[in-house]
Amino acid sequence: MIRVLALILGCYSTFITACECPPKVLNIDLLKSYDIIFKGKIIAVKNKPGAYKEAVFEVSDLFKGLSSHHVKVLIDTVSDCSKPVLRGQIWLIYSNYKQWQRPLLNWCSRSRKWFENENEDFYAFANGISFEDEITFLKSKLGRQRIISSTEAENTGERNVLPKPYMLLILIGISSVGLILLNVVLKRFLK
pLDDT of residue 161: 61
Q: Which domains does the chain have, with CATH numbers?
A: 21-160 (2.40.50.120)
Q: What Cα–Cα distance (Å) separates residue 59 from each residue in 8, 41, 64, 122, 154? A: 49, 7, 12, 23, 17
Is the pLDDT at 127 greater than 60? The verdict is: yes
Q: How far apart are CA 60 and CA 68, in angstroms?
A: 10
Single-letter amino acid, residue 24: K
Residue-wise pLDDT tens digits, 22-75: 778 899 999 999 999 999 999 999 988 777 889 999 999 999 998 889 999 998
